[in-house]
Structure 1
Amino acid sequence: MKLHFIDRSCLDNTSFSTQVNKMPYFLKIWHYHPELELGLNLESEGTRFIGDSIEKFEPGELILIGENLPHMWLNDEKYFKKDSSLLARNIGVHFKKNYLGNTFFHTSEMSHILDLFNRAQFGIKFLKIDKETIEEIQEMSELEGFDKSIKFLMILNKLSRHKDYKLLASEGYVNSFRINKNETLDKVYAYIFKNFKKEITLQCVADIAHMNSSAFSRFFKRVNSKTFSKYITEIRIGYACKLLIENKYNINEICYESGFNNISNFNRKFKLIMKCSPSTYIKQHEK
């Protein structure tokens, strides 16, 4: 599946844009852009692809996608039939992380919204969204100027405090460094992302952190809420998902290219994390 860059440079002349779309089906384009995207699906069904997350979608779904995170909404086959009267309707809001200036969301009063933007790097599905929030997003799309800006800020405030949500793409797929003031961890993450295709021992990384292996193992688990070995596995599986989507290598080649040393271990780890086999994952994307 070819990945396309979508140019939304017109946003340089406005703080954010709102589009109300109504079409027979959503465009079948696997794409990314540097703007965040808040999408409300009003009328449509199909399969949603965000990073390495593949799920069914339905009306009423609200998603926030972070910067440069590949995504696509693919309607069910019934939408593409010649005699179909079905419609795909959604509201899409595109904005840059600093759309109100470089320091606005770094103030203490707005830090919770900045945290929302940071979580969006994985893609966020908001669960149990109330009817009032959906109506507010629809109302905002009809406003202009100051009133529209204030309404959007109020919506972001509400979503940043919404506790019932699900992160979609895996950390491995996003393949990004955590923002961390700990220089030791920065060096560890840099080494992991540079060498994850090779064998990485706990002792080797502990040496970079100037810690013994036992102490580093406890420290790493406390910071990342997962063991060091699981973190490495997720990075490798995330990278494997990227290669499977690009369809440039076969599964055996991807196994070794992702840092695994045998196909059976690769298949087992892939199914454990992605809940499907690599071949099934390919078929889901080929649809």
Structure 2
Amino acid sequence: MKLHLLDRSNTTATISVKLNSYPNFLKIWHYHPELELVTILKSKGTRFIGDSIQKFQPRDVVLIGKNLPHMWLNDANYFKENSTLKAEAISVHFKEDFLGTEFLDLPEMKSVSKLFKKAAQGIHFKSVSKKLRQDIEDLVTSSVFYKTHLFLDILYRLSIHKNYKLLSSRGYTISLQKKDAALSSQVVAYIFKNFNQEISLSSVAKIAQMNTSAFSRSFKRVHRKTFSKYVNEIRIGYACKLLQENQLNIATIAYESGFNNLSNFNRQFKNIKHVSPSTYLKKHIN
């Protein structure tokens, strides 16, 4: 899974609003210097934000920070040859300083400034009101002046929204800020591509152009967790997505998520989610 930079430098709009409507979203692991506010209108699938793997569905509202890698991957039935399904979302791209370099320093903008900092990890806003989602949709057809006014109001309301979840880990975000961020992204991209297979520490260290012990120490320092725990968290995140779909039994899910035996899967799942896979399944299908 190669990481792509999407260049929008030829866009003259201060706030770029687009209604995306396709048979399926593009399967591109990418990043860009703009923040992005995404509202899902139609379709379901798996959302990759940094090192977070979670399901997405209609009415999801997500704010993605600048240069944070992400991808929206629709479920398999969206890619069938005769599928009539639609993937629709509104995406709003904007720079932090879209209203000027000093605008965020104003006292009135304190909560929005904090919102942008949280967005570095990606934010999933839960239980967003119908009115707020409608206002985001209205951005598509608004005039230039009203669009700016309405979007600022939307940002403020999101900044005081209490029900939200940060997506990517703090350690992943820190790794993006390092001088070797490009190399770190290559490592993470390799892990995402191969997490459901056996991944050796030595193979990943080779990508990082380091010996195994040095890579292990560096990884733990940057991500604030061991390499093995990082991989297991990604595997369990994917397992949660499969459990929520409720189409495979637990043993199959363990294998599909990269675990060679069920007992290790159960142990790692409970360590990370603090419940057993069966308890997690009952909670999310009722």
State the TM-score, normalizing by the size of structure 1. Answer: 0.69
Deviation readout 1:239-283 (Å, 9 max, x if unpaired): 964551376x9423137323279xxx95763367546399999x7
Q: How far has the Cα of 1:154 moved from its partner?
A: 0.5
Amino acid at match of 2:26: L
Q: Corresponding residue for 2:17?
A: 18
Percent same amino acid at aligned positions?
43
Bigger shift: residues 238-247 or 55-64: 238-247
Q: How far has the Cα of 1:141 moved from its partner?
A: 1.4
Q: Corresponding residue for 2:261?
A: none
State the SS of the aligned residue for 2:138.
helix
Q: 1:252 aligns with which of 180, 189, 201?
A: 201
Amino acid at match of 2:53: I
Q: Number of residues paired by the alignment?
A: 224
State the SS of the aligned residue for 2:119.
helix
Q: Distance in 2 between matches of 1:80 and 1:19?
A: 23
Residues 96-107 of structure 1 aligned to structure 2 (within 5 Å) = 96-107=95-106
Unaligned runs of 5+ in 2: 206-211, 240-252, 259-286
CA gap 1:242/1:80 in 2 versus in 1, 3 angstroms: closer
Max Rg structure: 1
State the SS of the aligned residue for 2:68.
coil
State the SS of the aligned residue for 2:158.
helix
Amino acid at match of 1:136: D
Residues 148-227 of structure 1 aligned to structure 2 (within 5 Å) = 148-175=147-174
**Does the aligned pair in 2 maintain the 1:251–1:278 contact within 8 Å?**
no
Deviation readout 1:37-90 (Å, 9 max, x if unpaired): 000000010100000000111101000000000000000110011110000000
**Aligned: 1:6 with 2:3:** no
Residues 120-139 of structure 1 aligned to structure 2 (within 5 Å) = 120-139=119-138
State the SS of the aligned residue for 2:82.
coil
Q: Distance in 2 between matches of 1:128 and 1:28?
A: 27
Q: How far has the Cα of 1:7 moved from its partner?
A: 0.3
CA gap 1:28/1:278 in 2 versus in 1, 3 angstroms: closer
State the TM-score, normalizing by the size of structure 2. Answer: 0.69
State the SS of the aligned residue for 2:236.
coil
Q: How far has the Cα of 1:111 moved from its partner?
A: 1.4
Q: How far has the Cα of 1:175 moved from its partner?
A: 1.9
Q: Distance in 1 between matches of 2:7 and 2:176?
A: 25
